[in-house]
Amino acid sequence: MRAIFETLDAMEMNKMNVLHWHLVDDQSFPFVSETYPELSEKGAFNARTHVYHRKDVEAVLEYARVRGIRVLAEFDTPGHTQSWGKGMPKLLTQCYDKDHKPKLGIWGVLDPSQEATFEVLQKLFLELSRRFPEQYLHLGGDEVDFSCWQSNPGVKAFMERMHFGNDYKRLESYYIQRVVKMVESLAKSYIVWQEVFDDNVTLAPDTVVHVWKGKGWQLEMQKVTERGLRVLLSAPWYLNHISYGTDWIKYYEVDPLNFNPANSSKATDLVMGGEACMWGEWVDASNLISRTWPRASAVAERLWWGTNTKPTVTPAIKSRFHDQHCRMQTLGLRVGPIDGPGLYCPCDYAM
């Protein structure tokens, strides 16, 4: 909780106005659902200490609200759901071996061949729509591994009944469309990762596609906007990728509108904004702030720039970023340095 509050403080200082909160993943289900408490009771790292109770979620929402920050919750499905299966194993797809025997303890992504899967999701998303006031929900949809679907006799029989052949992208599309209809019925809007678009899932006109893959993001942005869909960009701004030296400059010099060769205002208008990502594979509360800031400050300024021109980092800009680094330190945020030896803040000794 402390790390989340510090993140919101830093966001306020840098005029970032949406916290994308990836609440659950394969490793853990820390969100305490009042509809399905067994999901966190068995799926969290520790059901007593490593969970977000209602009071915790409400505290984050209020802390963000008074700082002008919206909280976008993501419940990623059908992939990244191994932790869901701890509390509700029937939600996941049983994997089978080449001899058509179940692999004991080996499960895949959510099972869309079972109607019970959608009954659970319907009730869960109803709860989420009431718990999170933000208009958008992030539905995920990335990195869906089809292998367990392909091995499971029940899923294969379902594919035959639905006349999907052996095209498991059609099964993915079926799943996503069912979930999308649930969310629309709750008067909510939604965001999906780019794989949903790439796999030709039928999407409603108001879908927001989140472009995250670093290679070829300009072409991806072009394809999405040509379809008339809105787009959110994070591909060039994965702050969890640490490199030696002054790497904030490469974030600052990205032109998020450099995908539009025809210079079409229609395409540009479909870009909702961008996002600086900090994923947790090598990050926890001990180093979250120092790895994110002030590197994320470069992303914030780039997104507020407002023109499709590539800025050049000058000594004056470096000096200004150093000043921002010192201001954040003064407020007690243990941010990292922006450059190598020679720069210091007056309050360094107190850190």
> Phi, psi at residue 236, to the nearest 5°?
-85, 0
User: Given the structure tokens 């993001």, which residue do they identify?
Assistant: 217
The CA-atom distances, in angstroms, between 201 and each of 106, 198, 209 are 27, 8, 12
3-class SS letters over 112-160: CCCHHHHHHHHHHHHHHHHHCCCCEEEEECCCCCCHHHHHCHHHHHHHH
143 is annotated as an active-site residue: yes
Q: Find out whether 299 and 261 touch, Cβ atoms under 8 Å.
A: no
Q: Find out whether 180 and 154 touch, Cβ atoms under 8 Å.
A: no
Q: Find out whether 29 and 39 touch, Cβ atoms under 8 Å.
A: yes
CA distance 288 to 240: 9
Which one of the listed residues 34, 58, 62, 143 is annotated catalytic?
143
CA distance 346 to 153: 66
DSSP 8-state assignment for residue 91: G
Q: Find out whether 211 and 232 touch, Cβ atoms under 8 Å.
A: yes
Catalytically active residues, by annotation: 143
